[in-house]
Structure formats: C-alpha cells, structure tokens
Structure 1
Amino acid sequence: MKRPTIPDLARAAGVSVSTVNRVLNQPESVRPPTKDRVLAAAEEIGFYGLGTIEHAIKSTQATHRLGVLLQRSSRSFYRDLGAAIAEAAEAYPAHNIELTLEFLEDLTPEKVASHIVSLGERSEAIAIVAPQHQLVADAIDTVLDKGVPIVSLIGPLTAKGNISFVGLDNWKVGRTAAWAFDKMVRDPGKIGVLVGSHRLRNQEMNESGFRSYFREHNASFTILEPLPTYESAAVAREHVEKLLTDHPDLCGLYISGGGVTGAIAALRAMPKRDDFVAVGYELFDDTRAALIDGTLSMIISHPMERFARETIATLMKAKSGGRDAGAHRVTFGFDIYTPESV
C-alpha cells in the first residue's frame, strides 16, 4: 500500500491541496477549525507528515505557563500523579502548555509557603498539594493578589481569596472505608487510624466521615484516636507495631494517609489473622502486592488519569477566567480495589 500523499490528505479533510500546504508552511493563515480538520484527517489516514502538522499547528497557539507543586517524589503516588499530569498537559487539545512540575521534600509550613510564592512568580496558574496552615494561607493570598489563580489538589484549602479544588469527596471516602469494616469484620472491636498530618484537610475529612458512619450504623466499634505519620513509612511502622502491642484485640486498621508501606511492613510481621481487616489508600505496586497477599483487605484510590485531566482543565479554566472569576470545585468518583479485582 502506497504512502498517503498531500492530495490524499486534502481529499480526506475535504480541503484543497493549497490549504494543506498552508497548514504545513503558513499555519497562522489557516482558520483553527480547518487546521483541526486537516490534523484529524492526517491521523486517520496515517499521513507521513503528521508530526510536522502537529508542530506547525502548535507553533501558532498561545503558550500557557502552568505550575504544579506536589509532595515528596520518594512516594510512588506523587511520582505517578506527576507523570499523569505531565502527560495530560502534553495531550491537552489545541493549546501549548509549558508545565513546571515540582516536588517538595521539606513539608514544613515555612518551606511550603515559600515554594508556593516562588512557583506563583513563574506561572500563570498553579495547582498545589499543601497542609492547612496560616503561613500557607498567607502565601496563597500573596499569589492570588498578583492575579495568579490557585487550584488545591487532593485536599481543599482556605485563605482570604478564592481557591479552586480538584479531588475526591473525602467525606465519602471515609464513610466508604467505614462501610467496608462494618461488612468485613466478624466481631466489632477497636480500629486504629493513621493519618499523614492533622493539617491535611482531606485526611481530617476522611476521618470525620469514617467516624460518622459508625455513629450512624454501628456503635459497637471503638475508633481509636488517629495517629499522624507525617507521611513517613518509618513512623507509620512504629505506630502500627505499637498499636498491635498495646491493643491485642485490635480488629482493624484504617490507613487514610501517607506511610502505607511502613504500615504494610508492620502488618506482615505479625502472625496472620483471618479476622483482621486493613483498608489503605492509593493503588501502586506495594499496595497492590499487599492486596494480593492478604495484608490489605481493600484500597480506595484516585483514578489517576481522570485526576490529571481534571487538574489541567481546571488550571486552564482558572487562568482564562481572570482575577474576578469564582473558584471551581471538581470532585469525581474514586476507585475501589480488593484482592479479587487487581
């Protein structure tokens, strides 16, 4: 089969040969709908110059400088999320996006606040994962006052200005986890709870929803006070080992925040119990393996590709809306995994 030619592309797109040539050589002289039609036809027929057409069309489009600030790159979840956001930015239709993607290893409020201001100075709109703290709120207001919109990811944030949000309905996440314990635990008893930080509002809302379910449906369970892991696997392991020692009658563990790999290690070290239920957060290689070997009973997870697409789309909406536009709130459903579904 011969390679499609420019006349073949013109026929497939319903335009003249000269129009195809202008898309290739003078893309600024062609109307956007026509360029899109030629591009779609090139993809459909396998035109050899597809990359040239894509480059020509992108060269005429405005560039949008977007920034994303995530937490520690050592965590698989944030590495995977960062990769998905970068891919979504590259694939965003009909726009050039210049993405600045950064990870923050030091999660103290001072460092987070400083980095938010820095990223805001280099971007036209930014998305951040951050704890709720006055220093962080002040940094957000500093960026907003300069006309740069901010989108909070995973957990909502508050400041004087309007902040958009993209993430899960964390109240529902907590109630769904509680439902799982209610249905899977044979004899109600004590449940330990791990959170990454009391200042991460998504995890506070997870815990609130978790407790509300038991108040409403089954008061036979005792929910222990949540223990902060500070997003550290080592701290999480210490907490779980102490919980298992101090509460030999513990019937379950809810890991609603960071440090899940440390918690998994501690659970694997204890004698296997068929009556023990553990529910974790986010699916990646380690948690998938823990589901398969029975260490974890269920995982609640962000749908990564959807999360990334919504992040880029909301940043673009916030940027185009300008200083006086209201905040956008985007929530979407979460994925649930069990040992039989991975």
Structure 2
Amino acid sequence: MASHPTMNDVAREAGVGVATVDRVINRRAPVKPATQQRVMDAARRLGFSAGKGMTSSAVPCRLGFILLDSGAEFYRQFSEQLRFHAERSAHIAANPHFVWLSINASQQIADAIVELAGRVDVIGIVATDNPVVNQAINHVQEKGVRVYTLFSELTASGCAGYMGLDNRKAGRTAAWMISRLCKRPGKIGILLGDHRFLCQEMAEIGFRSWFREKAAEFDILEPLRSYEDDGMAEQATRTMLEENSDLVALYVPSGGVDGVVRALLAAKKQQSRTLTVVCHGPIAHAQKALLEEVVDVFIWHRMPALAAEIIAAIADDFVHEARGNQQRYLPFDILTVENF
C-alpha cells in the first residue's frame, strides 16, 4: 500500500469499485446508504482523510442518541426532528442510532454509551448526573468519541459540550411570571423529575433565587419528584394539593406535565382551588391545558429549532475537529392561551 491511502485502497478495503468510492467521496452521484457507509468506514480505517484526496467533511459524522423512554410526546418530537435534520445535513451520516432507556437505568445508560461508541463518532445524551454515566463518558472520550449532553448538563470532564436551555434563566423567568400572576402570596410547589437532573436543579435554583431577591413573602416548598412519569406526576400533584391548603402556585420544570394537567383538571371540577401554574413543554395536550385555564404559561422548547441547532453544531464541530467543551444555550418561547 502507498504511504498515503488512495481511492484504490479504499475500494479494495470496502469491497467496491473505484468508481463507487469516487461517487461517495466526491458526491458525484447517489449511492445506497449501506454502500456509502462501507466506503466511509473503510476510509476511516485506512486514514484516508483531509490532505489525502478528500476533505474531512466528505466523511459524514456517525451519530447516536441516548434518550429517555418516558416523556413520550417530548422525546418523540425531539427524535423525529433530530432524524429529519440529520438526514438533510451534508456532514451527518444517514439513519442516526437511537437508544431509549429509563431515567433510573444509569448502568444501562453507561453500557449504551460504551456500546454506541463502537459504532458512532458522536453521541448526544439525555441523562441524570450519575458517576457511572460520567465514567463511561470519560472512557469513550479517551477513544475519540465526542459526547454532548442535551437539555441537562453532566459533570463528566470528558463531555464535548452542552446544548439546551439556560435553565437558570428559565427558572427565574418562571418566578417572574408567577409573582405577577398570583393574586396573593402563599405557598409555591415545585415538581421535579429527579434530583440528579442538573437542568431541573438549575431551574429550581434560579426560581428560588428570584423569590429570595424579589418576593420573599412567598413560601417555596421542597420539591416532589415525578421521575418524568405522567402517572407519578399526577399523584404528586394531588398530594401537594391535599397537603397544602394555602398553595397558590405550581412550577413544573420537568416531564410528567400531562399527569399534572390531569390532576389540576380534576381539582378544578371539584372547585377545590385555582392555582397559578407554569410548566415546561412541549406536551401532548398543551392547548387544552391553556384553554381550560389549569396552566397559565408554558416555557416552550422550540423543538424543530432546537434539533436543527444541535445537528448543525455537531456537524460544525466534527468538520472543524473541535476540541474542548462547547457550550450552546438555545432559546425558548413563552406560550399562553393567547399565542399558542
């Protein structure tokens, strides 16, 4: 073999003709996805890269995502948008891999990171901050696989970056809205998916800090957990209502919001109380929740824009061989019944 791999070498390694390699490398004509992947894998193995006959951007980035199997509507929309934008990126390989796991399955998430790292170049992950997950991220980072945290940051030193909302800002925004919508001071409940979700921890910190600074007459309760599950969120909301007769507001910076809405609708039918409620979205029945006036405001993830930004950022980092931790804070919308 020549000192620098050639198209002939790539063709031999991939088991295809040189013309096929040329079509893939130089994008001269469409090639079946499976064949394209074989050629790209062969090019990687041989080190056929920039300065040796093809630009680095000609080798598409192989993507994998580890998402939660709860919060069905949120993650369904998210995965569809990720797939849509990945398939339209010149620098991302077709058909990204998706793995769906439970919020509590930290060891399975860690195992999935290691397994995916053998098949992809970049992993996007939604997970709680857990030592076994962080250890797996650091392990694959040493092997050259970049892992981006999505929506919720992790403390692993090997993370390639974070892409999602500025969650402290979201929490302070929710506090500002509740303080102005509430008719009187009183207790405010918070519902979290899990205490190890750093996004929710930061939202709670921002929420509490705003009230300490601006409206100390409100009493912020200790949060209850929903584990991102609609059924558990419904029960937690009922418990909060039953145990706090002077509850005036509720903030939900987590999954399980459809369950919260069910509990609030039931309470409204019993005419037991009216609350000021701010939740994060999207959820399946957001418009109904606003029209029924059980949720006042949604802090809304712009799902198509978020997915497009994430795919574009990953592609850009891949092409330019980015190093270090890349932080990208993405915008959110404020939705009410008037602008849904």
On whether the aligned pair clears a TM of 0.5, the verdict is yes
Q: Hey, what does 2:236 align to over in structure 1?
A: 239
Matches within 5 A, 1:95-114: 96-105=93-102, 107-114=104-111
Query: 2: distance between equivalents of 1:207 and 1:145?
Result: 33
Distance 1:229 1:73, change over 3 A: closer
Query: 2: distance between equivalents of 1:26 and 1:237?
Result: 56
From 161, 164, 175, the equivalent of 1:164 is 161
> Shift in Å at residue 163 of structure 1?
2.9
> Shift in Å at residue 273 of structure 1?
6.9
From 261, 264, 273, the equivalent of 1:264 is 261
SS in 2 for 1:268: helix
Query: 2: distance between equivalents of 1:27 and 1:319?
Result: 21
Q: Hey, what does 1:14 align to over in structure 2?
A: none
> Shift in Å at residue 208 of structure 1?
0.3
From 206, 222, 227, the equivalent of 1:225 is 222
Q: Hey, what does 2:336 align to over in structure 1?
A: 338
Distance 1:221 1:327, change over 3 A: same
> Shift in Å at residue 315 of structure 1?
2.2
Query: 1: distance between equivalents of 2:20 and 2:267?
Result: 68
Distance 1:152 1:31, change over 3 A: closer
Amino-acid identity (%): 34
Query: 1: distance between equivalents of 2:293 and 2:76?
Result: 25
Matches within 5 A, 1:265-280: 265-271=262-268, 272=271, 275-280=274-279
Q: Deviations over 1:103-154 (max 9, x none)?
A: 2136321122111211222211111001101111101111111110110000
Mean Cα displacement is larger for which, 88-97 or 147-156?
88-97
Which letter does structure 1 place at the counterpart of 2:335? Answer: Y
> Shift in Å at residue 98 of structure 1?
4.1
Distance 1:26 1:239, change over 3 A: closer
From 321, 324, 327, the equivalent of 1:326 is 324
Structure 1 segments of 4 or more deviating over 4 A? 25-32, 56-61, 272-275
Q: Deviations over 1:37-92 (max 9, x none)?
A: xxxxxxxxxxxxxxxx8736996953321111111166110010000000010111
> Shift in Å at residue 191 of structure 1?
0.6
Query: 1: distance between equivalents of 2:307 and 2:252?
Result: 23
Q: Hey, what does 2:139 align to over in structure 1?
A: 142
> Shift in Å at residue 241 of structure 1?
0.9
Query: 2: distance between equivalents of 1:247 and 1:54?
Result: 66
> Shift in Å at residue 275 of structure 1?
4.7
Structure 1: give runs of 5+ residues left out of the alignment. Answer: 1-24, 36-52
- Check the 8 A contact 1:27/1:57 in 2, yes or no: no
Matches within 5 A, 1:31-110: 55=30, 61-72=58-69, 75-93=72-90, 96-105=93-102, 107-110=104-107
TM-score of the aligned structures, taking structure 1 as reference length: 0.80
Distance 1:55 1:288, change over 3 A: farther
TM-score of the aligned structures, taking structure 2 as reference length: 0.81
What RMSD in Å do the two structures reach over aligned CA positions? 2.6
Query: 2: distance between equivalents of 1:202 and 1:92?
Result: 28
Query: 1: distance between equivalents of 2:224 and 2:24?
Result: 60
Query: 2: distance between equivalents of 1:29 and 1:56?
Result: 7
Number of residue equivalences? 298
- Check the 8 A contact 2:230/2:258 in 1, yes or no: yes
